[in-house]
């Protein structure tokens, strides 16, 4: 199986070209290749495919084999791949995902894609649509007890469900301990991605993320978008202004537009290509 290893600010996936190869068991293959000791090592698997309703289609699988609806960092890498491979000469691309069609704008220098902006669609704040097991109209700074500590949780969906929590200092959090307890809490019927966020200033946030099915990752695009939206609805930042979200792997630029759409801009990096026996 031929593959390409790529990452969006440290959120790394193994990419398989579905135009040239057929992968019959992607759930199992994702577990195999994601292992950082016995496989290639990644946060999961992305398959790039033709689409009947968009320019291209993306399927993404977490390290535990579960299929995710959307990954913003992976979407940027798909944009870089299809342009630099010659599948398209367009700098504005539509991409089919399980959470709908996303629109990518490529920045190209000397035929190399240096950054990609993704129109992530509208943020969802209705708990039933996220989903969160709550009858509230909005789930903003709602108290949730984990291990005797009360956390204020803001629920946002960007195609994937997110629980955003604002903290004083995120560097010393034991995510390996508390992350799974949020992910599998009965309040979240489809499990949850959890972002722990520190306010730096009115336009800068620092974030760590525990992703359902993958554990702590160096970056999460939909999580950065959810974090920016949560910061705005909680009054920390201003809607319409660009917000820098600092993650372990780098920075993303997020804008929560007045019409509810969220724009995300960041880099996409090709690491290496290879062949794996499977």
In this prediction, residues 112-137 reach a mean pLDDT of 97
Sign of CA dihedral 115, 113, 71, 102: positive
Residue 233: predicted pLDDT: 98
pTM of the model: 0.92
Distance between CA atoms of 62 and 44, rounded to whole angstroms? 4
Q: Do residues 128 and 145 make contact, with C-beta atoms less than 8 angstroms apart?
A: no
Residue 71 annotated in active site: yes
Residue 35 has pLDDT above 90, yes or no: yes
Distance between CA atoms of 76 and 60, rounded to whole angstroms? 13
Beta pairing partners, 270: 6
Residue 12: predicted pLDDT: 97
In this prediction, residues 76-95 reach a mean pLDDT of 98
Residue 211: predicted pLDDT: 96
In this prediction, residues 105-127 reach a mean pLDDT of 97
% of the chain surpassing 70 pLDDT: 100
Residue 57: predicted pLDDT: 98
In this prediction, residues 202-230 reach a mean pLDDT of 96
Distances (CA, A) of 10 to 50, 94, 266, 268, 269: 26, 24, 11, 9, 9
Residue 108 has pLDDT above 90, yes or no: yes
Distance between CA atoms of 184 and 190, rounded to whole angstroms? 8
CA 116 to chain centroid = 14
% of the chain surpassing 90 pLDDT: 99
In this prediction, residues 250-269 reach a mean pLDDT of 97
Residue 167 annotated in active site: no
pLDDT band at residue 253 using 50, 70 and 90 as cut-offs: very high
Distance between CA atoms of 115 and 229, rounded to whole angstroms? 22
Residue 278 has pLDDT above 90, yes or no: no
In this prediction, residues 16-37 reach a mean pLDDT of 97
pLDDT band at residue 53 using 50, 70 and 90 as cut-offs: very high
Catalytic residue (choose from 77, 167, 220, 237): 220
Beta pairing, strands 193-201 & 161-166: parallel
| Structure confidence by residue, pLDDT tens digits, 227-246 | 999 999 999 999 999 999 99
In this prediction, residues 261-274 reach a mean pLDDT of 97
- What is the chain's mean pLDDT, rounded? 97
Distances (CA, A) of 215 to 44, 175, 183, 185, 253: 11, 8, 9, 15, 23
| Structure confidence by residue, pLDDT tens digits, 175-201 | 999 999 999 999 999 999 999 999 999
| Structure confidence by residue, pLDDT tens digits, 142-162 | 999 999 999 999 999 999 999
37: left (phi over 0), alpha (psi -120 to 50) or beta: alpha
């Amino acid at each position: 199986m031929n593959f390409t290893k790529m990452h969006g600010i440290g959120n790394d996936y193994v990419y398989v070209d579905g135009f040239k190869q057929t992968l019959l068991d992607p759930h199992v293959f994702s577990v195999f290749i994601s292992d950082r000791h016995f496989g290639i090592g990644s946060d999961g698997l992305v398959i790039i495919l033709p689409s009947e309703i968009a320019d291209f289609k993306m399927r993404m699988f977490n390290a535990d084999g579960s299929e995710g609806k959307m990954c913003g960092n992976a979407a940027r890498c798909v944009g870089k791949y299809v342009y630099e491979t010659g599948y398209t000469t367009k700098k504005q691309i539509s991409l089919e995902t399980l959470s709908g069609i996303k629109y990518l704008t490529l920045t190209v220098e000397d035929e190399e894609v240096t950054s990609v902006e993704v129109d992530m669609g509208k943020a969802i704040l209705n708990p039933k649509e996220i989903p969160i097991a709550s009858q509230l109209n909005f789930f903003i700074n709602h108290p949730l007890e984990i291990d005797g500590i009360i956390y204020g949780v803001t629920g946002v969906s960007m195609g994937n469900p997110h629980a955003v929590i604002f903290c004083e200092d995120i560097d010393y959090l034991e995510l390996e301990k508390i992350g799974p307890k949020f992910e599998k809490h009965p309040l979240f019927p489809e499990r949850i991605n959890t972002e722990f966020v520190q306010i730096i200033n009115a336009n800068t946030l620092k974030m760590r993320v525990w992703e359902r099915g993958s554990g702590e990752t160096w970056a999460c695009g939909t999580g950065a978008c959810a974090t920016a939206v949560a910061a705005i609805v909680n009054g920390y930042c201003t809607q319409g202004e660009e917000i820098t979200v600092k993650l372990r792997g780098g920075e993303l630029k997020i804008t929560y537009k007045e019409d509810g759409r969220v724009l995300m801009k960041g880099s996409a990096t090709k690491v290496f290509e290879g062949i794996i026996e499977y």
